[in-house]
Structure 1
């Protein structure tokens, strides 16, 4: 079974293999009761349309650099995720980002000279296989309902990604993003813990935005997303406190390594 090109695989993915009826005719897919791929992952990509739901549980930031991807912070320090245990089981009712729910599937180009995307999966996830108990991937040589659902979800994710890029482009057009900094004062420490290395919306520039632009954002649904992001930043102190309770508190002057 030929694997797809492995260069520059996204977060979580260790390998990629195209799903096809010839090689995987008898394979099944099982539902995961845990997400071990989440262990140690502190920043998870978000699509813009997820902001209202994600903002109830995570601080939403933007990665530094020229490609400011929205991220849900599940921990403030690299290697720390306060929402899953060591086995990857989610320890409280939270919104699970679509990026997490998509795994182990992914739409990818098998031919660099073509724009066509094919449904692939990460075989290292051990969620698909011939000996796995679960839903059939193919029925009479045709994609099963489970496979069609996985394909549909991946297609929706790609479309949401395109809308997210348009959202980011609008923020950059109006120069609304700035380098962020958060200082948290913990009792018993003279110096605050300072987090940098991420971007956030500049509220001063947002207040100065022209009325006609704001009306357009309100009509398009962009304005509520901006406020969901800003309100979510209040959760940073809660994530900090959860890290301390887990014995994974930071040392002074550690930055958020947003990626």
Structure 2
């Protein structure tokens, strides 16, 4: 069901932002996100867990390089929070930072480079040589809009580092296990069984030594683990949305 995204999810290309090549470029506000239609699993950082867990389940992708994912649908190609027009189906849903940073991201221009450069997806309709929107440059200098975009992306990268540390600790403690959720809709002959993701093993968490738990509590890791575990109850809410929207698979899913 959920796997780590190929690099990078949503992006069709990456081009470094340059005051020479993009002097007249502007960024304009978009009222829809077509790239989000049908995307069911979105990467999130641990900084976002407290907000995400109020709206959607948080799980972990499979494999050794697991990452946290917010589930906006339980099946491939299903996003219950975004309509076919790319607009949110309701106003108060939390939108992960990974989505909000698009079409920008920080990336290395060369594999051996130490620094990250602000890049953008040149296929995005949000950025270009438009008459409307906020300018990205004032002469040769970045505009305030560009400075704000850069600041947001730097904050996102820092959160990404904290998330990597969190995931490393999960692996070292052996707290991840293969996840499985069985949902039996009323009137259905067979339950819908969802696999292909990882979750925290509650029994192993309970069996940790006191000093290990104390360390996790002091580092802020323990509340994040419980935010993930509490969020799993929303699997059934997302499933109910799929039923309501007619996006439930016709047969049992394994």
Query: What TM bracket, shorter-length normalisation?
Result: over 0.9
Aligned counterpart, 1:247: 246
- Shift of the alpha carbon at 1:132? 4.6
CA distance in 2, matches of 1:242, 1:250: 13
Aligned counterpart, 2:152: 153
**With structure 1 as the length reference, what TM-score do the two structures score?**
0.93
- Shift of the alpha carbon at 1:253? 3.3
For this pair of structures, how many residues does the alignment match?
248
- Could you list the runs of 5+ residues in structure 1 that have no partner in the other structure? 1-7
Aligned counterpart, 1:166: 165
Alignment pair present for 1:88 and 2:75:
no
- Could you list the runs of 5+ residues in structure 2 that have no partner in the other structure? 1-5
Quick check: 1:30–1:132 contact (8 Å CA) kept in 2?
no
After superposition, where does 1:111-130 map in structure 2 within 5 Å? 111-130=110-129
CA distance in 2, matches of 1:131, 1:72: 34
CA distance in 2, matches of 1:130, 1:206: 53
Alignment pair present for 1:39 and 2:37:
yes
Q: CA RMSD in A?
A: 1.0
Q: Deviating runs (4+, > 6 A) in structure 1? A: none
Quick check: 1:45–1:71 contact (8 Å CA) kept in 2?
yes
Aligned counterpart, 2:106: 107
**With structure 2 as the length reference, what TM-score do the two structures score?**
0.95
CA distance in 2, matches of 1:201, 1:59: 13
Aligned counterpart, 1:5: none
Deviations 1:186-206 (A, max 9, x none): 112121110000000000000
CA distance in 1, matches of 2:161, 2:9: 18
CA distance in 2, matches of 1:195, 1:202: 17
- Shift of the alpha carbon at 1:116? 1.6
Alignment pair present for 1:77 and 2:101:
no
Secondary structure (helix, strand or coil) at the match of 1:158 reads helix
- When residues 132 and 223 of structure 1 are mapped into structure 2, their CA distance, relative to the original with a 3 A threshold, is farther
CA distance in 2, matches of 1:137, 1:68: 35
